[in-house]
Amino acid sequence: MVTFILVALALAALIFAIDEVKKGSSKKLIKLAVIQVAGVFGQALLGGITVLTKLNPLPVAGHFLLSIALITGAIALVRESRPVEQFAPVRKEIRQLNLVLLIMAALVVTLGTLVTGSGPHAGDASAKRFPFDPRTISFLHADLVIAFCGLTLAVWLALRVTHADSRIIESAQLLITFILSQGAIGYTQYFTKLPEALVALHLIGAECVWISTYLLYSRIKRAGADTATGLRTET
């Protein structure tokens, strides 16, 4: 039932994109809208495979990751349809860290699916699990999250020290907030033996962390590079 709604919305977005391109907007709008249409049908296909394989954790994880990709594409479509945001240039070193941050976020989310697929909530009581020790894979995931949090703090501090645009700094602060909230949920669910409600909340939190990471990444990327040497000072 939800798929029919998503198909309708994706097709409406495609029609809107075609109309906007006719008015002079970037053709990128159509590409992003087509990805949404194809992605929804891809989700339906992957969902069918998930059912036919009796909730095998691999397609279940793929289903979640594809959802994140579709949400990212939807955000990109919305941003492309709006006036371009203008930001002051950002130091090259911060831009490099920004890319590493995005890659690390992808690794954190992907490893998180392995944690879920190894635990008791990977489907139902008879569903197959990943062949990983839940305790070990959870610790690896937590270690990577701590490193991700440290890198985010480094990016935030670098943005503040170089007096970057306040909107970009706010994006970094939002990401830090989501990471800390997600970490609190993760540790709580681990020590309370994984109650279903917290697991569901943790999945929503993973989406929030990824979305905020992507927004920070896109803003820094759009800001362009600051080639000046040394740190900018207040005037």
**DSSP result, 32-90:** HHHHHHHHHHHHHHHHHHHHHTTS-HHHHHHHHHHHHHHHHHHHHHHHHHSPPP----E
Q: What's the CA gap between 217 and 222, in Å, rounded?
A: 9
pLDDT at 62 over 50: yes
Q: Are both 58 and 76 inside the same structural domain?
A: yes
In this structure, the answer to whether residues 14 and 58 fall within a common structural domain is: yes
Residues 80 and 121 in one domain: no
CB 141 within 8 A of CB 193: no
Q: What is the pLDDT of residue 24?
A: 86
Residue 229 and residue 131 share a domain: yes
230 has a pLDDT exceeding 70 = no
- Categorize the per-residue pLDDT at 234 as very low, low, confident or very high, splitting at 50, 70 and 90: very low
The last residue of a domain, from among 32, 51, 84: 84
Same domain flag for 78 and 91: no
Choosing from 26, 52, 84, the residue where a domain stops is 84
Q: What is the pLDDT of residues 88-114, one digit of tens each?
A: 899 999 999 999 999 999 999 999 999
Q: Could you give the number of structural domains in the chain?
A: 2
Range of the domain at 74: 1-84
Residues 111 and 48 in one domain: no
pLDDT digits (tens, 9 = 90+) for 173-220: 999 999 999 989 988 988 888 888 888 899 899 999 999 999 999 999
**Which residues does 230 contact at the CB level (< 8 Å), separation at least 6?**
none
113 and 77 in a common domain: no
Residue 128 sits in a domain whose CATH number is 1.20.120
**Does residue 201 sit in the same domain as residue 214?**
yes
Q: Are residues 67 and 99 in the same domain?
A: no
> Among residues of the chain, what percentage have pLDDT more than 70?
93
Angle between helical axes of 57-81 and 196-223 (0-180°, round to 10)? 40
Specify the higher pLDDT residue, 226 or 86.
86
63 and 148 fall within a common domain: no
pLDDT above 70 (res 225):
no
- Which among 61, 84, 107 is the end of a domain? 84
My answer on whether 52 and 112 are in the same domain is no
pLDDT at 232: 42
Whether 27 and 104 share a structural domain: no
The whole-number pLDDT of residue 229 equals 45
% of residues, the chain, pLDDT over 90? 62
Residues 116 and 132: their CA atoms lie apart, in Å, by: 11
184 CB neighbour count, 10 Å cutoff = 11
Long-range contacts of 146-150 (CB under 8 A, 24+ apart): 147/104, 148/101, 148/104, 148/105, 148/108, 148/179, 149/176, 149/179, 149/180, 149/183
Please name every residue paired with 212 in a beta bridge, in sequence order, or none if there are none.
none
Instruction: Select the more confidently predicted residue: 143 or 82.
Output: 143
Alpha helices in the chain (DSSP H): 2-22, 28-52, 57-81, 92-118, 134-161, 166-191, 196-223
